[in-house]
Amino acid sequence: MSKLVTIYGGSGFVGRYIARRMANEGWRVRVAVRRPNEAMFVKPYGVVGQVEPVLCNIRDDASVAAVMHGADAVVNCVGVLNELGKNAFDAVQADGAARIARIAADQGVERMVHISAIGADAGSNSAYARSKADGEAGVLAHMPNALILRPSIIFGTEDQFFNRFAGMARMGPLLPLVGAETKFQPVYVDDVAKAAVKGVLGNAGGGVYELGGPEVKTFRALMQQMLDVINRRRVIVGVPYWAAWIMANVLDLVKFVTFQLFPNPILTRDQLKNLRRDNVVADGVKSFADLGIAPATLESVLPDYLWKFRPSGQYDEIQKSADNLRS
């Protein structure tokens, strides 16, 4: 019988790419999610019955153990960028990660891969960064040979980074940015999936790997590259931190007084703290090079999915060619 991997958060942005690659490796894939009915799109990743979405709440021991039963490996992709309800940073990214690792150790699971993030720091003033570090510590306490991946900002077809700002660029002549000079090292989602698969297959040693693409750019430079891809001219405006702090406080207050009916998807105080720090691979750490993976460039991927934000969508290049013929 083929081997089985349980992927917690396997229908999310990163998880779906790992699920697809594990199915291609011939493994049975159990996609553990809160809403299996919304994850049915993963089933065609393999043959009939090979990839199955199952109900799981990583805040509950019994739920985590049930979907892990019989697994040869586990991958944890669950994370939140904004706290909502019971899905707080500590509950999901610290306690949830440690719970998965503890139960994996109890069940004798051979390998574990955990998706963390660059910037994970137990001493950070950001609750997000602290919870990521606490999650890593919890994983290593129970599964000391686990592979921990810390990606920079992740891009790809379903991302909430370039897609979000490309959508904003359609609305007016200005593109406001908080932390315009902060540096990022964007990494392609499928390259992160390749790294995770190496861990599941035992083709990479355990430990922490920081994953960044081949380019380090400021937030402003990344947005200019995005604008070039979608053929739009916009004035990029750097929002001062003091103004962003006022805005984040107001938005967080609205979230609080509305009992989270307004979840504040725009800018939180915690996100603002992270935007003050560069998000790049540190010197002297294990990275893609140690995994034998050459990461994709932004230039090779962005046009494949940002074309829909061009003034004429998929016909933009054709229209440009026609204009050149007339001139």
pLDDT in tens, 241-263: 999 999 999 999 999 999 999 99
Contacts of residue 134, Cβ cutoff 8 Å, sequence gap at least 6: 90, 93, 94, 98, 122
Q: How far is CA 67 from the centre of its chain?
A: 22
CA distances from 156 to 35, 92, 188, 306 (A): 23, 24, 6, 10
Average pLDDT of the chain, as a whole number:
95
Backbone dihedral angles phi then psi of residue 218, each to the nearest 5 degrees: -75, 160
Backbone dihedral angles phi then psi of residue 169, each to the nearest 5 degrees: -65, -20
Specify the CATH superfamily of domain 4-156+185-214+279-295. NAD(P)-binding Rossmann-like Domain (3.40.50.720)
- The pLDDT-based confidence of 221 (bands split at 50, 70, 90) is very high
pTM of the model: 0.94
pLDDT for 318 beyond 90: no
Task: Please report the pLDDT score of residue 282 as a whole number.
Answer: 97
Q: What is the pLDDT of residues 126-158, one digit of tens each?
A: 999 999 999 999 999 999 999 999 999 999 999
Q: What is the pLDDT of residues 21-80, one digit of tens each?
A: 999 999 999 999 999 999 999 999 999 999 999 999 999 999 999 999 999 999 999 999
Domains of the chain, residue spans: 4-156+185-214+279-295
Q: What is the pLDDT of residues 67-108, one digit of tens each?
A: 999 999 999 999 999 999 999 999 999 999 999 999 999 999
Task: Please report the pLDDT score of residue 313 as a whole number.
Answer: 74
Q: What is the pLDDT of residues 101-133, one digit of tens each?
A: 999 999 999 999 999 999 999 999 999 999 999
Task: Please report the pLDDT score of residue 97 as a whole number.
Answer: 98
Task: Please report the pLDDT score of residue 312 as a whole number.
Answer: 79
Task: Please report the pLDDT score of residue 122 as a whole number.
Answer: 97
